[in-house]
Amino acid sequence: MALPDIDKVFAGSIPQLYDEYFVPLIFEPYAIDLSARAAARRPGRVLEIAAGTGAVTRHLAADLPPGSAIVATDLNPGMIARAREVGAARPVEWQTADAMQLPFADATFDAVVCQFGVMFFPDRAAAYAEARRVLRPGGAFLFNAWDRIEANEFADVVTATLATLFPGDPPRFMARTPHGYHDTATIARDVAAGGFGAPQITTLAKRSKAPSPRHVAIAYCQGTPLRSEIEARDAARLGEATEACADAIARRFGAGAVDAAIQAHVVVVER
């Protein structure tokens, strides 16, 4: 299914809010995991695609051997600008690039890493083929993808709450895209279509923690393309939508610090 263009746009104030609110909420636990898996292979040259604001990049900079080089790319200039602004523990080559058409020569990387980006690719098999193309023989492609939305409690509550505010045309970004690529058989089939062998897929449960329900609501409603979906229906209701989600999260998880289940698939495959 083709994704709406709005799903792939992280612009305006979204990159900053995404980095400040969303990254620590749900990305950080999986960034630690994915970076550790990549670092264990001791790659000399690493490419990160769909790097966003650099959640994994910063861990790679800390975890990889001292001589390893990191190239971090994303389709959205605003995300790369934010990642460059925050920086990392070692020099990183930050670059705007499309994972569908990587501007790198064949067989130039020992590892390709992608954190929660594959769900946004318009042709995943083609993107996987591009990752394989730039890998050296024996190199590894490591990525993760969110499990179904029901296994990710904050996203599920936010989506259900927005459906009550916009019953005629509910914003479905979270279910449609971040949590729309959860079937492991489909993932394995797409990886094979990209020219790889059978992948190792691990389903990994973590906890999502925030200091308040409002932190969660801002992360989802204002720090992702869900914001654009809400504003497309009624820009004046963004604040109302955010507060409604905060209230729903408070009713479910409490009014103070909150803690909910998150779950994702981690995929490793070698060239």
What are the strands, taking DSSP E only, across the chain?
Answer: 45-48, 69-74, 93-96, 109-115, 135-146, 200-210, 258-270
Q: How many structural domains are present in the chain?
A: 1
pLDDT at 18: 82
Residue where the block lists tokens 């691990």: 202
51-81: b or e for each residue (b if 16 or more CB lie within 10 Å)?
bbbbbbbbbbbebbeeebbbbbbbbbebbbb
- Over residues 88-131, the pLDDT tens digits come to 999 999 999 999 999 999 999 999 999 999 999 999 999 999 99
Closest CA to 177 of 5, 56, 39: 5
- Over residues 58-87, the pLDDT tens digits come to 999 999 999 999 999 999 999 999 999 999
Share of the chain above pLDDT 90, in %: 90
DSSP 8-state symbol, 255: S
pLDDT at 11 over 60: no
Q: Residue 19 belongs to what domain range? A: 5-270
CATH of the domain at 45: 3.40.50.150
- Over residues 22-37, the pLDDT tens digits come to 889 999 999 999 999 9
pLDDT at 139: 98
pLDDT at 1: 47
Can you read off the two tokens belonging to residue 174? 């979270």
Q: Tell me the whole-structure pTM to 2 decimals.
A: 0.93
Q: Where are the alpha helices (DSSP H) in 9-122?
A: 14-17, 28-39, 55-63, 77-86
